[in-house]
Structure 1
């Protein structure tokens, strides 16, 4: 009888399963009311007195082994169930992940950066909260200069010398102060102006401004650079430059691209002329170079600036600039297929 109990102890030690039903059958077989352990205890009275001690020890060993085995396997099974509940069935196909989309402003900005990076322009950034020197004075706009009225500015009330930048030209000033020519950089970023919000204008928008400073830089270099940009960006190679005025460039010009008159939309956008204004540009004023500690007798340069929002409206046929800042998912999801 004792040898039989030892055989069962060995069976318990080698038993394993990954199935709850098999584990329950094992428990009933050994520890149930009609299980083997109770049967062995019932036979205790029939065992010879000189074997009772060894027999009782053998039954207890079988009981302990069976209970420990059930407890151990049960914990393992519950642990696997918990892991399955946490991570799901790892053998199942994965759930389709919803693709996000880039904002049209980001799409256009990245495209502009890519185009200018091909001809050696790097990207420079600066603070959106600026001081008067970098936003106005260094750009040939001293205090009380009438051209300051061209830009309705948000000033910080506690300090009239601090303001929300009205253009990213302030980044160019900072870059010239900290770098020596040759300089070839573009400055994308958000700017702020105290304007009424409507379908065509907003109190904040996005700009990209470019700057090239080197020896013997001419207006012809500026025109060729802009010609390259419009061809790459719009697929339009015909541009014109109209005389204009900006305090920080001289001479200055507005840049128009010939969009064409192929559709009714073209007529509306260009007001029947076929020409569309896309940016301002000019040769950097010598006073700006002096303010940034660059010798205008040795170096010259050109600058240009364009509105990212306006180009986004143009390229994607968006009729209201406010849609770019309302975070309407119905609008943004339309750009999922755009890289």
Structure 2
């Protein structure tokens, strides 16, 4: 075998390669496992032949690597020359996320009350029975104290069932007048339905001052309802009972899904309950050492999920917790 001729032929083939595929064909033909050079190296029995063949292989491998680098440089030069990019043109817009519907509603509520001069609080979610029930004047036999309605850690600690304990915290921290809204997660052993979920967000308000009446409460709630739903939605107030307010009311908003005609979401009543409210019971003031003869106040609590459902006419509240981007992208 004329190995000098073999090397010249292989070097010429490598130098003549005009692209990666041609170069790979030459490499396989002259340096591959089935090439004459590779076969000869397997049968080497003397030192001189081994040195000769290994020298040829090393020179050819170096020639292939050099040619490969040159081809890459030529391709880069071609792209820079032909594929001109105008860097002054605007790029492709990247997809940008947005706030969750619940967070959007929370911002609206915060802005509404900040505009009225209220302060915003964010209190603890793990509460004591004393703050969650006792100081809010819940009767010892009230159904909310049952383990079937409330998530207990032990006999004295639980996941708060509402943000109402914030009322007690702020009444113990400072003297009236007080204008406060507490916003956060609450937990109840509720059945999951189109309008209820065992975990939800609530905004709880408390106003304590001299001469506050039920009319002040209704005006405040109407202001927030208009900010959330617009002037075209109807709002009504029904009498109700809550342990920590007297008199007590429940605000309802007309169902936007059926227009008040009745549907599954509003349980065919045409209205959806927003929460509870009322004038603070004097017993609550006495529990925290506030003079109920001088001071009066009102309190209210509403769900953010319910507010988002009513604002956007969402038929099922569970859609807000599923994390389905097909739903969330609509808001």
Flag whether TM exceeds 0.5 (same fold): yes
Tell me what 2:221 maps to.
226
Tell me what 2:149 maps to.
152
Aligned: 1:292 with 2:288:
yes
Which runs of 5 or more residues in structure 1 are unaligned?
A: 1-88
Aligned: 1:282 with 2:317:
no
| Pairing partner for 1:134 from 131, 149, 170 | 131
- What CA deviation, in whole Å up to 9, does each residue of 1:101-139 have, x standing for no partner? 111110111111111111111101111111111111110
Tell me what 1:251 maps to.
247
2:139 and 2:243 in contact (8 A); partners too: no
Aligned: 1:99 with 2:93:
no
Shift of the alpha carbon at 1:327? 1.8
1:124 and 1:175 in contact (8 A); partners too: no
| Pairing partner for 1:307 from 281, 303, 307 | 303
Aligned: 1:118 with 2:115:
yes
Which runs of 5 or more residues in structure 2 are unaligned?
A: 1-84
- Structure richer in helix, relative to its length: 1
1:151 and 1:166 in contact (8 A); partners too: no
Shift of the alpha carbon at 1:264? 4.2
* Secondary structure of the structure 1 residue equivalent to 2:155: strand
| Pairing partner for 1:204 from 199, 209, 213 | 199
Deviates more, 1:130-139 or 1:192-201: 192-201
2:144 and 2:150 in contact (8 A); partners too: no
Aligned: 1:183 with 2:178:
yes
Distance 1:328 1:240, change over 3 A: closer
- Please give the TM-score of this superposition, normalised by the length of structure 1: 0.65
Distance 1:196 1:275, change over 3 A: closer
Shift of the alpha carbon at 1:316? 1.5
Tell me what 1:6 maps to.
none
Shift of the alpha carbon at 1:99? 0.5
Shift of the alpha carbon at 1:268? 2.9
Shift of the alpha carbon at 1:143? 3.5
2:228 and 2:307 in contact (8 A); partners too: no
Tell me what 2:329 maps to.
333
The two structures, once aligned, show a CA RMSD in angstroms of 2.6
Tell me what 2:50 maps to.
none
Give distance in 2, aligned partners of 1:121 and 1:246: 23
Residue-pair matches, total: 243
Give distance in 1, aligned partners of 2:230 and 2:105: 14
Give distance in 2, aligned partners of 1:141 and 1:114: 31
Aligned: 1:240 with 2:247:
no
Shift of the alpha carbon at 1:216? 1.2
Deviation beyond 6 Å, 4+ runs, structure 1 = none
Tell me what 2:7 maps to.
none
2:255 and 2:310 in contact (8 A); partners too: no
- What CA deviation, in whole Å up to 9, does each residue of 1:226-264 have, x standing for no partner? 22222222223754322110000011011234568xx84
2:191 and 2:198 in contact (8 A); partners too: yes
1:101 and 1:332 in contact (8 A); partners too: no
- What CA deviation, in whole Å up to 9, does each residue of 1:81-102 have, x standing for no partner? xxxxxxxx9x576553321111
Aligned: 1:214 with 2:216:
no
- Please give the TM-score of this superposition, normalised by the length of structure 2: 0.66
* Secondary structure of the structure 2 residue equivalent to 1:201: coil
Shift of the alpha carbon at 1:280? 1.5
* Secondary structure of the structure 2 residue equivalent to 1:295: coil
Give distance in 1, aligned partners of 2:210 and 2:314: 42
